[in-house]
Amino acid sequence: MGLECLVCIKMVPDTTNIRINPETGTLIREGVPSIINPYDLHALEAAIALKKEYGGRVTVVSMGPPGAKTLLQEAVEQGADRTVLLSDRKFAGADTLATSYTLARAIEYLARETPFDFLFFGKQAIDGDTAQVGPGVATRLHLPLVTYVQQIRSVSLESKTCVLERKLEEGIEVVEARFPLVLTCEKEIARESFAPLVNLIRAKTHEPLVFSASEPVAYEPGKLGLKGSPTRVHKVFTPELRQSGEKYKVEEIGVEKAVDLIVEKLRELGIL
Amino acid sequence: MSKKIWVIVESKEGKAHPVSWELLGKARELAGPEDELGAVVVGYKIDSVAQEALEYGATRVYVLDAPVFAYYRNLPFREAIVQLAKKYTPDIILLGATTLGRDLGSAVATSLETGLTADATELALDEKGHLLATRPAFGGNIMATISWPEHKPQMSTVRPRVFPLPQKVATPQGEVIQENIELKEEDIPVKRLEFIPKEKGVNLEYAEVIVAGGKGIAEKKDFELLFELAKLLGGEVGASRAAVDAGFIGYEHQIGQTGKTVRPKVYLGFGISGAVQHRVGMQESDYIIAVNQDPLAQIFSIADLGLVGDLYQILPSLLKRIKELKES
Ligand SMILES: Cc1cc2nc3c(=O)[nH]c(=O)nc-3n(C[C@H](O)[C@H](O)[C@H](O)COP(=O)(O)OP(=O)(O)OC[C@H]3O[C@@H](n4cnc5c(N)ncnc54)[C@H](O)[C@@H]3O)c2cc1C
Ligand SMILES: Nc1ncnc2c1ncn2[C@@H]1O[C@H](COP(=O)(O)O)[C@@H](O)[C@H]1O
């Protein structure tokens, strides 16, 4: 038996010094080193921890350019069994709606024989911070959704339920959920672990399955990539800075005067 | 043509999250006199929230009041909003970019096959009345305005405190519409077992005074000085990500792109360089005071009162002075 787990990982640029193509408003990826979105790595670790405890299999899916293959090999180093890369020019330029469509259809395809019990997503991707793809896939697959999971407390294979902790603004919510389900993960859900040597060796020769826009999944072409993305970048601009005010050097005016200035201002503003 | 602009009101235990009213205020600003300002209130025993929505200017309040909505879960809330949206076809739907709003917003947008701009920092309408949502992109170095005229509804989430809390209207004139949805508790796959509230929440977003510390603070224990100052001023302590990453203070204190957006009356920053990711979270503060050793620190480009100097000289003297003032 065991648990059939799926993890969606996204390739993201490893820097904030990203350049933008001013005409299209899209990211210039050349020359920017790429990493697995950090939250997704924690999600992957959580899936691998489930496999260790209950047996089963971990499948990793990523939609991205061919270069994302190396990240899938990294996922194998960490303990993934099967990896799938969705790569095609027709997928490019997808917003979260098109991305969730592309992923959901591929996941349906992969689940034909053995359905997934747990579908892991990162809480959000650090390049866009949108946090929409996980909930989007859950909606498309009609699966229960639990977001911001920081701990998997327990899993019952008999009743097909699990107890999860969610990290919310005002505290921790503990929920019981039926699976199959989609969860989006906080970093706390699992620690990064060191890849065992056998995995490193296996990863070297690992080849991800590659799915295109035409094979093996049957997609509606109008729902893919830029075409299938309702949102358009209307314009990009650099934010205007607010005006600065007075500035003093403390070595010139002295500490007491500096403190005077702060206190005066706090009084004026009615704070003191 | 008149439009319908909806705000999904977030509430817990019969208490609304202020971000909902901030959005209603912004919607009121965008809407024309003919337009509907809809507030969608989903929960259990939420009459007072519906009432408040009227006071904040909603012209129509859609109420779904049932035990299955006693606390937030994706499925019933998603079903509720989707059903209402299909019935009444709003043009624009706005939600707070809270954990709840992000969870719900993306599910609703997917069900309705429409776009959603997450974490907008500005909203406007184009000449045809379509939503233009602006958000920081790629680390806040640029802003991107997103539009999608061909799809409806146009959806966006906006963080708390991006817009100010509006005044209540003098004479509320909206109508309340009670709605119903067939949902049984047994059909909902997720149940709350327990809620463990935070011991002491940090109310950074709504603090009037914020004393923030960065990597210029040399060690963790020195944050005590900031806590002391915040207490004297009746404020909260904020931090840069560098200070959070150094383990000086918890993440819930982080201000910025990956932390919280704040707009206090006064922000006092000590040893914060003012990187763009930090600035996007605090530049709407009414008044910014910055203390930094480096005359070229970026924080000075937006500070109203900038003091170039050692925080370890200023902070103790400032504490001493304020204590004396309070005693006299
Ligand atoms: C994707 C991404 C998201 C990010 N999100 C955020 C975010 O949400 N919030 C955030 O804050 N950052 C964020 N950052 C990090 C941001 O880029 C900066 O690295 C960070 O804000 C720097 O923090 P700092 O100003 O405390 O540290 P530093 O940049 O190290 O600055 C310390 C400052 O203290 C001054 N100083 C040192 N000693 C003294 C002294 N004795 N007296 C006075 N001044 C002194 C120095 O002159 C310096 O200016 C993000 C980065 C990335 C890549
Ligand atoms: N292109 C992609 N391929 C695989 N997974 C993705 C992709 N984009 C987003 N995800 C998943 O969805 C999560 C949220 O992404 P986002 O909605 O972009 O913030 C990520 O943490 C990933 O788990």
Residues A10, A35 contacting (CB under 8 angstroms): no
**Closest approach atom of ligand 2 to CA A37:** 21
Contacts of B310 in chain A (CB under 8 A): 250
Q: Which residues contact B170 (CB under 8 A, 6 or more apart)?
A: none
Most B CBs within 10 A among A32, A103, A231, A267, hence the mutation to make, goes to A231
Distance set, CA B203 to CA A170, B95, B159, B237 (Å): 10, 20, 14, 9
Q: Considering only the beta carbons, identify the residue of B74, B110, B258 that sits closest to A100.
A: B110
Query: Which of B215, B249, B310 for mutating ligand 1's site (highest number of atoms within 8 Å of CB)?
Result: B215
Cα nearest neighbour of B196 on chain A: A172
Nearest by Cα to A215 from A114, A84, A116: A84
Residue B169, classified by CB atoms within 10 Å of its CB into exposed (0-12), middle (13-18) or buried (19+), is: middle
What tokens were used for A218?
């049957």
Per-domain residue ranges of chain B: 4-187, 209-327
Which pLDDT score, from 0 to 100, does residue A148 have? 97
Q: Considering only the beta carbons, identify the residue of A129, A231, A265 that sits closest to B289.
A: A265
Q: Say if A222 is an interface residue toward chain B (CB within 8 Å).
A: no
B92 forms bridges with which residues in the sheet? B5, B154
Judge: A262–B136 Cβ closer than 8 Å, yes or no. no
Which pLDDT score, from 0 to 100, does residue A34 have? 87
CATH topology match: B4-187 vs B209-327:
yes
User: Which residue type, as a one-letter code, is found at position A172?
Assistant: I
SS3 A129: coil
In Å, how far from its chain's centre is CA A244?
37
Residue A14 clears pLDDT 80, i.e. is over it: no
SS3 B287: strand
Q: What burial letters (b/e) apply to B144-157, b meaning 16+ CB within 10 Å?
A: bbbbbeebbbbbbb
Which pLDDT score, from 0 to 100, does residue A184 have? 98
Give the H/E segment covering residue B132: strand B131-137
Does any ligand 1 atom lie closer than 6 A to the CB of residue A126?
yes
DSSP per position, B240-271: -HHHHHTTSS-GGGBBSTTSB----SEEEEES
What tokens were used for B18?
């202020």
Beta strand A161-168 pairing with A145-156:
antiparallel
Give the pLDDT band of residue A242 (cuts 50, 70, 90).
Answer: confident
SS3 A91: helix
**Closest approach atom of ligand 1 to CA B257:** 8
Q: Considering only the beta carbons, identify the residue of B197, B295, B303 that sits closest to A244.
A: B303
Residues B297, B276 contacting (CB under 8 angstroms): no
Q: Considering only the beta carbons, identify the residue of A20, A100, A177 that sits closest to B189.
A: A177
Please tell me the number of the ligand nearest to residue A16's CA: 1
Does any ligand 1 atom lie closer than 6 A to the CB of residue B238?
no
Q: Say if A174 is an interface residue toward chain B (CB within 8 Å).
A: yes
Give B171→chain A minimum CA distance, Å: 31
Q: Say if B136 is an interface residue toward chain A (CB within 8 Å).
A: yes
Give B107-159 pLDDT, tens digit per residue.
999 999 999 999 999 999 999 899 999 998 766 677 889 998 888 999 999 98
> How many CB atoms lie under 10 A from the CB of residue B67?
9
User: What's the rounded mean pLDDT across residues B31-47?
Assistant: 95
Q: Which of residues 103-132 of A touch B (CB under 8 A)?
A: 126-132
Give A210→chain B minimum CA distance, Å: 26
Which pLDDT score, from 0 to 100, does residue A25 have? 56
Give A22-72 pLDDT, tens digit per residue.
565 566 666 678 899 999 999 999 999 999 999 999 999 999 999 999 999
Which pLDDT score, from 0 to 100, does residue B150 have? 85
Contacts of B303 in chain A (CB under 8 A): 244-245, 247
For tokens 């309070």, name the residue: B326
Nearest by Cα to B106 from B118, B119, B98: B118
Q: Say if A142 is an interface residue toward chain B (CB within 8 Å).
A: no
Judge: B233–A271 Cβ closer than 8 Å, yes or no. yes
d(CA B286, CA B292): 20
Give B154-178 pLDDT, tens digit per residue.
999 998 989 999 999 999 999 999 9
Architecture, CATH, for domain B4-187: 3-Layer(aba) Sandwich (3.40)
ipTM value, please give it: 0.87
Give A146-199 pLDDT, tens digit per residue.
999 999 999 999 999 999 999 998 899 999 999 999 999 999 999 888 888 899
Most B CBs within 10 A among A97, A163, A179, hence the mutation to make, goes to A97
Give the pLDDT band of residue A103 (cuts 50, 70, 90).
Answer: very high
Which pLDDT score, from 0 to 100, does residue B84 have? 97
d(CA B54, CA B48): 10
Contacts of B305 in chain A (CB under 8 A): 245-247, 261-262, 265
Distance in Å, CA B259 to ligand 1 centroid: 13
Residues B277, B241 contacting (CB under 8 angstroms): yes
Considering the domain B209-327 in this protein, what is its CATH number?
3.40.50.1220
